[in-house]
Structures are given as C-alpha cells and as structure tokens.
Amino acid sequence: MSIDLSQFHQVFFEESLEGLDVMESALLNLDTENCDSETINEIFRAAHSIKGGSGTFGFSTVAEFTHVIETLLDQIRAGDRRIEPAHVELFLKSVDCIRQMIKSLEAGDAVEMSDANDLKSKFQAILDGKELAAAAPVPASTAPTAPASVSDTDAGSSGGAKTWHIYFKPDGDVLKTGNEPSRMFRELEDMGVATVVVDTADLPGIGVIDPETCYLKWNITLVADVEKAQIEEVFEWVIDEAELRIEEVAQVAVTENPEQNGAKPSSVKQSKVEPSDIVQTTVQSPVAEVSVSPAPSQAISAPAAKEPAAQAAPAAKKAEKNKTEVSSIRVGIDKVDSLINMVGELVITQSMLGELSRDFDISKLPKLLEGLEQLSQNTRELQESVMRIRMLPISFTFSRFPRLVHDLSKTMGKKIELKLLGEQTELDKTVMEKIGDPMVHLVRNSLDHGIEMPEDRIKAGKSDTGLITLNAYHQGGNIVIQIIDDGKGLDKEKILRKAVEKGLVGESDKLSDEQICDLIFKPGFSTADQVTDISGRGVGMDVVRRNIQELNGSVEVESFTGKGSTFTIRLPLTLAILDGQLVSAGEHTYILPLISIIESIQTNMDMVHRVAGGCDVLRLRSEYVPIIRLYDIFNIKPESYNLEESLLVVVEGDNMKVALVVDDLLAQQQVVIKSLEENYKRVEGVSGATILGDGTVALILDISGLIKLAGVRKDEYKKVKQGGDEAA
C-alpha cells in the first residue's frame, strides 16, 4: 500500500500559511518586557505544527529550518531563556522566510535557501550562546534518513540469528495504559522464534485478585537475527513501567547448534527460512520510533526526492502544479448545519406543495398560497445561508496590517499604534481578495502622508505615537471599512492649488471642503512633495477608487486639518448578488445597482437645458447633471420621447453624476449576477445579466460604462457645467 502524500500538500500549505499568520500577529503583539506565556505557546504551537507537517509530507528543508526556531521557542516557553526584542525581529524574519519557502513549494519552484541558512546560523548562534545547543543538530536525525537506518539493518542481518533471554515484569498498572503484553509477544514472534513462559507466582488468591491489575511476569526466549535495541523497541512504550532484562544467551548462530540455547528442535527448521522473514519483518516493524526505523518506504522518499527534482526543472513542475491547485475555503460547521437545516425545511415545503397539487381544487387555494409563501421564505433563507458560506471575517484582510505598520513605522522613524475594530465583520471571500490591495495602499498613504513624525506631533500638542484605526461594520447590506488616522489631515489648500495647476478645476471654481478632498481621487493627482518608498509607487488614489468601484463599491475621504483623515470604503457584501432597481425602457427591463442611485425624479422642461455639443443637462438644485437617454444608447423604442413623461434616475459612477432617462421604475430586488463575458462576450455599458422571476433575461447596467458610451466624459462634463453656469 503506497499512499500519495501529495494530495495533502495543498491543505498543508494553506494551514501552514495560516499558522504563519498566527505566528506573525502573536509576535507583533508580544510584549517582551511582560511576556505572556499563552502568546509564546501560540507561537510555539504554530511553528511546531509546521515542522510536524513539513516533516511528514517530505519537505525536509522547511522541517529543518523550523526545527531551529522551535528549539529556541521551546526554551523560551520552558522559561530557560528570556525573549528579547532581537529575537522577535529574527522570528518575524523567519516567518517571512518560511512563508516564502511554502509559497515556492506550493508553486513548485526551487526553494531559495540563502535567507534560511543565514537565519539558521543566527538562531544557532543564539542557541550556542547558552550552551543549550544540544537539541539543535537533531533535525538531521528527525529527517527521514532511510539510508543510515538501512545500513543498521544490514549490520544486524549479517550477524545471523542470536538467542536472547528476556525477563519481563510489567508494573501492575500496565493494562491501564492500554498496553497488552500479548501484543509485544506477537511482535517478538514476528522477529523470529519466541518461546514465552508465564510466571504466575505473584498471582493472588481469587478472593483478592484485582482483575485490572497485571500480576504476571514472563520469561521469553527469542531466537532471532535482531539486535538488543530492536527488542527494546518492542517494549519501548512500557520500558519505564516494567522490569526488563534482555540478555544474549550465546553468540553462536542457532542454525549451527539450536539445542544449545534450549530452543525446541522444531525451531531449527523455522530458523533456516528466517533470514528472508527477518528482512521483511524489520521493514514492517518500526514499532514506535517510526522516524528512525529502517523503512525504505516509497511514500517518504518520494516527496523528499521531489525537492531536488523541482530544483532541476521548476518550470515543468510548475505547469504540472498549476493544474492541481484548487483554492478552498474553510467553513464553520454551524454554517453547514444551518444549510442542511434549511434544505430540510425546503424538502418539507416541497412535499407539502406536491401533496396539494395531487388533487387540487380552488378550495385549497389559501393553502397553496401559504405553501408558496413558505417556499419563498425557505428560498430566501437558503440563499442567505449559501452566501454565508463564502463569508469570511475581515480579520483575514486586517491581519496583514500589524506587520505592515510595524515594518513601515520602523523604516520611517514614526511611532504608530494600529487599532483593529470589527474584525469579525464578515465579507464575501472574492470581495475580500480584491479589497486587500486598495486597503494596503490607503494604510500606506495614511502612514506616509497622514501621521506626522514624533517631534512634529509633540509640537502639535499630540502624543508622539500616531494612531491608525481600521474599522469594519455592516450597514444596510454593505460592509463599511474605515481607515482612520489622527495625523495632520489633508492639506486642502495644497490640493486645490495642485488641482488648478493640473487643470482639474477652474481657478474661479468654488469647491466645498468635501469636493476638495475628493480631488485626491482624480487621475493624475499626487501632492507628495517627494515620491517616497512607502506610498509613491506610481499607483494613485484614482486607481484605488477605480478598483473599489469595480467591486461596485465607493470610497470617500473626510479630513480635518490637524486632526486626521478618515477614508471610508463601502462595498457590497458579495459580488454574486446585487441589490438592484429594475427599470423599464420600452419593452426592456434593465437593472441599476441600487448603491449607485442617488434619486429619481419627474422633471419638467424648465429644469432641462441644452448646451453646446447637443447634450442636455438637468438642473438639479445647484448642480448640472448630464442627461443620458437609455433608449438612445441601446437603440430601442421608448414608450415616450417626452422627457416630462419619463422618469430621470440620477446615478453616480466614475466620480460623476448623470441622469438616466427611463420609462418607469419597477421593483427593487436582489438579483443574482451572471457574467455576460463568460456566457456571451463583454458588452460596453453592461456589467452582467440576471434572470428575472418570469424567466426573462435582464441586463445589469454599468454606470461608468454608460457614461463612456454616452460620450459625456469629464472634460465634456466640465464644458457642460460651465455652459450650465452661463445658462443659469
């Protein structure tokens, strides 16, 4: 039976990466002055699991490296050594290093060992420093060292059969640990010829006997081609709770003179055929010390051999690996339980409806309606439960920030405390994956531009330590993520000056504070005096906003000079379902994302102005909003071409407002998004499609795409706006 261990690799990689995250955050929380033993334990456990797993699955490089870390952690855990800040830094670097190793292994690439070796020697130096290094060279022996063990076996078998006398007297309690002496005797029988004689001398009278206590002792004669250590191995689990004497009776091989050892004559025949048996049994009988037992098994040598192979042909390996890579999520059992529960209810409702339909007459209508109501409730709950499966707490994303802040504040010489709130707020996995990068950018931005240097903070009458808070909460079907800093706030004058310089706003434009702050999200806008390593990576806030908008979300900033800024990201909880507003245009039904709708109005022609370029704008209080006629864009025939008979839905997308002309507003409902790209092809102005209750397909409109299609781009919009001003 050979088992392909590679099928467990993916799980191992995932749990190791999770373990590393745990290690990292525990390390960052560690107060070296006042060390909490549970935190150390947590770090130790994570390292320990990675080591155990990597050893088992044949990743000896990881196992060896982790072992050194574990040794030091174990000493700290045992109180033999104090943890110092330098250790923490070293451990953090090791976390990075192991993470890199795991990722390389996962991708099938060669494992880069230079960092690991470097760190290993540093750890070794620490360990050696207190002469506690004895445990350190162990990795070599814990790693599967089949060849060495095999030679042991060879040495043993070349000596021929020996006769051993074994005296075994276990403690009375031996049975209470589940150890059966008969098992050990059977193992001895597997090695050769064993004669077991029981000594019942200590057995008390039947009246006082305790059936759970072992009163027996044994004298065993074993004729086998084994070394003393192999016999000891059989008794390994009980060696400390027993009186055990193993003596070699004679060096002479049994085959030559069997009687001499008191072995029964019949054993002669058996011992002749033994050499092959012995080879077999030694292979199979690792007893307990599995790691050092002589088992040239395929399973463990195969993965071990894979690593050098991977180094030789990383590309080929990678190609092979990519095929098998599956991303998975772990789901709490309570979520699965509730799902099963839901399905159960659904089945009940279904059978009830089935029953009704069998001989249906009009008198049963109320019952039918009740059943259908039940069905729709079940469906809704089922949908929610299924969605919940994909939901993960945002702590998965938040968890990378403590390290980021720790490292960056060090490089910048700033003192920063990071506070995480609402870590348990749940979010769809796909959204989570995509929000990470924009968040990193915003946090870097706050660190770099928001929080001041300690001396400047003190001058400003603040504590020298800046505070960055990440906050997440649910609000009306959306998740809100805030990045709050208590730094200097946005320099509004500078922003305005820059915007004028870049022609983003006219010099005479009067903008509210809010509008000024919003300018930082415009393409091509950057006020950094100096492009720093931290946030000036050529990715502007406009990209951040665009990425968030692609997720059907929004981002805005609020800032108070001297007090700090708050970036607020709003995202739908899932990408699979959209809160939609159904609208009709002609015979067609379209869906607008509810989040993008600002208001819907019936207009009269006084509010509509035509400006240069043939574009109509709607005067909406103090603003002018371009009007986009859906029927023009999709080339359909509306119910009415008269704006006064139509409805205008004011929506926002791509940083601008537009008014869409539709015939009517229909229902608001959650729709399941089906990708148009996957099923048909990409269509400008449409972000997807869905199937409505009556089976028809409705297109989900993409506001920014529509704006592009309609040709009311920002530059034109500006013209429109200026024109509008004149018109007003």
What backbone torsions phi and psi does residue 428 show, to the nearest 5 degrees?
A: -60, 140
* Catalytic one of 42, 64, 70, 652: 70
The least CB distance from residue 53 to other proteins, in Å, is 5
The least CB distance from residue 148 to other proteins, in Å, is 15
Nearer to other proteins, 60 or 94 (CB): 60
The least CB distance from residue 21 to other proteins, in Å, is 15
* Catalytic one of 48, 67, 87, 609: 48
What backbone torsions phi and psi does residue 293 show, to the nearest 5 degrees?
A: -75, 150
Nearer to other proteins, 94 or 646 (CB): 94
Nearer to other proteins, 212 or 715 (CB): 212
Residue of 707, 718, 711, 699 lying closest to 651 (CA atoms): 707
Return the HEC string of 620-655: ECCEEEEEEEHHHHCCCCCCCCCHHHCEEEEEEECC
Identify whether 14 is a catalytic site residue. no
What gap in Å lies between CA 581 and CA 597, rounded to an integer?
9
Nearer to other proteins, 77 or 719 (CB): 77
Nearer to other proteins, 137 or 262 (CB): 137
The least CB distance from residue 567 to other proteins, in Å, is 35
CB-neighbour burial class of residue 91 (10 A; exposed 0-12, middle 13-18, buried 19+): buried
Nearer to other proteins, 8 or 680 (CB): 8
CB-neighbour burial class of residue 614 (10 A; exposed 0-12, middle 13-18, buried 19+): exposed
Nearer to other proteins, 253 or 283 (CB): 283
What gap in Å lies between CA 509 and CA 500, rounded to an integer?
9
- CA quadruple 389, 394, 395, 400: dihedral sign: positive
The least CB distance from residue 117 to other proteins, in Å, is 21
Residue of 140, 202, 131 lying closest to 172 (CA atoms): 202
What backbone torsions phi and psi does residue 596 show, to the nearest 5 degrees?
A: -90, -10
> For residue 221, what is the DSSP state?
E
- In angstroms, what is the C-alpha Rg of the chain? 37
What gap in Å lies between CA 123 and CA 87, rounded to an integer?
9
Nearer to other proteins, 330 or 681 (CB): 330
What gap in Å lies between CA 351 and CA 549, rounded to an integer?
44
Identify whether 9 is a catalytic site residue. no
What gap in Å lies between CA 634 and CA 500, rounded to an integer?
37
Nearer to other proteins, 173 or 501 (CB): 173
Which residue pairs, CB below 8 angstroms and at least 24 apart, start in 584-588? 584/662, 584/663, 584/664, 584/666, 585/630, 585/631, 585/634, 585/636, 585/638, 585/661, 585/662, 585/663, 586/631, 586/636, 586/637, 586/638, 586/639, 586/663, 587/636, 587/637, 588/634, 588/636, 588/698, 588/699
Name the residues that contact other proteins, by CB under 8 A: 1-3, 5, 7-9, 11-12, 14-15, 42, 44-45, 48-49, 51-53, 55-58, 63, 138, 142-144, 175-180, 182-183, 186-187, 212, 236-237, 240-241, 284-293, 295, 297, 299-300, 330
Nearer to other proteins, 267 or 282 (CB): 282
What gap in Å lies between CA 566 and CA 470, rounded to an integer?
10
For the chain, give me the number of helices (H) and strands (E)?
A: 26, 22
The least CB distance from residue 170 to other proteins, in Å, is 12
Residue of 479, 381, 385, 474 lying closest to 430 (CA atoms): 479
The least CB distance from residue 679 to other proteins, in Å, is 35
Helix residue spans in 313-361 (DSSP H)? 314-324, 333-358
* Catalytic one of 261, 445, 478, 655: 445
Q: Taking a C-beta distance cutoff of 8 angstroms, is the pair 139, 51 a contact?
A: no
Tokens of 680: 């048909």
Identify whether 165 is a catalytic site residue. no
The least CB distance from residue 145 to other proteins, in Å, is 11
The least CB distance from residue 536 to other proteins, in Å, is 41
The least CB distance from residue 272 to other proteins, in Å, is 26
**Strand-pair category, 564-572 with 426-428:** unpaired
The residues assigned a catalytic role are: 48, 70, 445
